[in-house]
Structure 1
Amino acid sequence: MQTPGEAQYYALALLDELFKGLPPCATVDGVSFLSGPNEMIFGISVFHAFGHQWSCQLTYNPWLCDGFGLADGEGCERFWSSIRKLIPGLRVSGFNRRHFVLDTDIQAKDVKSLANLGNWLLNKW
């Protein structure tokens, strides 16, 4: 959704209604809009999908849904895992220090991942 002409409020209203109807323990790991809000596709993380029935895997596995590419739905998990070492120290920190440390750490990870992008692409293909 890049421009106001795409009527983003329809997509957001649909998502709002979806989440109102889900139980509090339910999670949605991915939503893909193919050609606008009328074609919404939901997906769950790949590894979570394997714990479900076969019919659920075929329907919601992002590798089998158009618009998700080869994403496995675990990006947020990887990110939180990468900053987990900061949690104990930040638990007792003040608001500004917490933001400073998180910002600095995330910027360092960003620079490191950008520097390793060439090697990642070489190993990937």
Structure 2
Amino acid sequence: MYIPVSVLNGCGDSFIAADEKRQKASTYFFTDIGLMTLVCRHDHVLWIVNLTSTGEKQHYALALLDQLFKHIPTQMTIGLLYNIACQLKQSCCKWKFMDDSILSCIAFAIAIFHAYDHQWPCQVIYHPRKQEGFDWSDGEGCE
């Protein structure tokens, strides 16, 4: 389903996590201010990155996905549950962060808790219960 860019921009503005300028932690006292993990369907940690800058930067998610795709068959499809999956997909398409062959192997969905945060159309489209393959996975195991 096609989503106009204006809708995705509105969606991005509504997510606090998508606001890369918003600081939730200070780097004044600490070098590492958090962790981001890539977990499997069973919530087992596969890889972890240290967050060293404030805001939820997409390069952390991209680094984890890059690592994952180095270890799985090239034609394997994965389901990605992420708080701001709609924004990550938009960035990947717009800025070519990933090769189309890799991007086509990712089914993007918003983690279930965040799918109910706002009433933007992308939450309906990226809702894991409305997409094939996610079953009862909720993406909240490492929250």
Q: Tell me the TM-score range normalised by the shorter chain.
A: 0.3 to 0.5
**Bigger helix fraction:** 1
TM-score by length of 1: 0.32
Which has the bigger relative contact order, CA under 8 A and spacing at least 6?
A: 2
TM-score by length of 2: 0.29
Q: Tell which structure's C-alpha radius of gyration is larger.
A: 1
**Bigger strand fraction:** 2
